[in-house]
Structure 1
Amino acid sequence: MNTTELAEFLHEQLAADEREPGGWSRARELAEVDAKRGLITLLLDTTHTVCEDPWYTCGAATKEREGERCPDNNRRGHCDCGRDRLVLAGLQLLALPYAERPGYQAEWAPNA
């Protein structure tokens, strides 16, 4: 599953929420949109586990994302620290209210 695509979908839906107010006050709706955007940023900015000993560093960690602390020989590729699972679960939950909108993918549903 592509978390970048899911995050982009969420951003589009939040933009639609800003344009089409519902039952909340406008201030409340904008606060909701800001909060969801903040959660998306928080999730996507979460880093993989990096330890001094490369054996305990997440296999998906890279210097580009996690910084210079990440060892060069850390190229196992898959996430074994839980970061990717957490990010995906958070994005799936944020997308759930938009399940009836065009562009939503059934595979994004939690536990799909």
Structure 2
Amino acid sequence: MDELVRWLGVQLDADKARAAQWHDLECSIHEHQEGGLLKAVAALEVYGEVPGAVCDCGGPARVLREIDAGRQLLALHLPTPYQDEGDRWPGCTTCSWRDEMDDLQVRYPCKTVRLLALPYADRPGYREEWRP
């Protein structure tokens, strides 16, 4: 199941590369006050072609922070470095525990790792068995 972690790393790398080239005005939808009403509008409707205009959605900086947070979460949820005799998959270093019968609970990938991959479910290579 480390294939999921490798695949997710590729998705995060792709997002990071895209975000590095993304201009704030390429955001598609923003909230904008108009006549006291909050409405969603396209960024260029709000800012037009104003040179140097920057939207307030956070744009690429927010995406880069999300990618960093995802990588940090993945680092906390690694497969255990050992497998028990007869166990087919390892547990998660954060989520797994042993019950009173000394059986491993929470196999890897844990729900946290599966949830981190879920936003990318529409991308090539995602497997339905990874769905939480």
TM class by shorter-chain length? 0.5 to 0.7
Q: Which residue of structure 2 lines up, in the alignment, with residue 9 of structure 1?
A: 7
Task: Mark the CA change 1:76 to 1:97 in structure 2 (over 3 Å): closer, same or farther.
Answer: same
Give per-residue Cα distances to partners, 1:4-45, cap 9 Å, x unaligned: 000011100001111123745222111110100011110006
Q: Which residue of structure 2 lines up, in the alignment, with residue 54 of structure 1?
A: none
Q: Which residue of structure 2 lines up, in the alignment, with residue 31 of structure 1?
A: 65
Question: Which runs of 5 or more residues in structure 1 are unaligned?
Answer: 48-64, 67-73
- Work out the CA distance in 2 between the residues paired with 1:13 and 1:75: 31
- Work out the CA distance in 2 between the residues paired with 1:34 and 1:12: 13
User: Structure 1 length normalisation: TM-score?
Assistant: 0.61
**Larger gyration radius, structure 1 or structure 2:** 2
Question: Which runs of 5 or more residues in structure 2 are unaligned?
Answer: 28-57, 92-102
Q: Would you tell me which structure has more helix in proportion to its own residues? A: 1
Q: Would you tell me which structure has more strand in proportion to its own residues? A: 2
Give 3-state SS (helix, strand or coil) of 2:70's partner: helix
User: May I ask how many residue pairs the two structures share in their alignment?
Assistant: 82
Q: Which runs of 4+ in 1 moved over 4 A?
A: none
User: Structure 2 length normalisation: TM-score?
Assistant: 0.53
Report whether the alignment pairs 1:82 with 2:105.
Answer: yes
Which deviates more from structure 2 when the two are superposed, residues 20-29 or residues 31-40?
20-29
- Work out the CA distance in 2 between the residues paired with 1:91 and 1:107: 13
Q: Which has the higher contact order (CA 8 A, sep 6+)?
A: 1
**Identity in percent:** 41
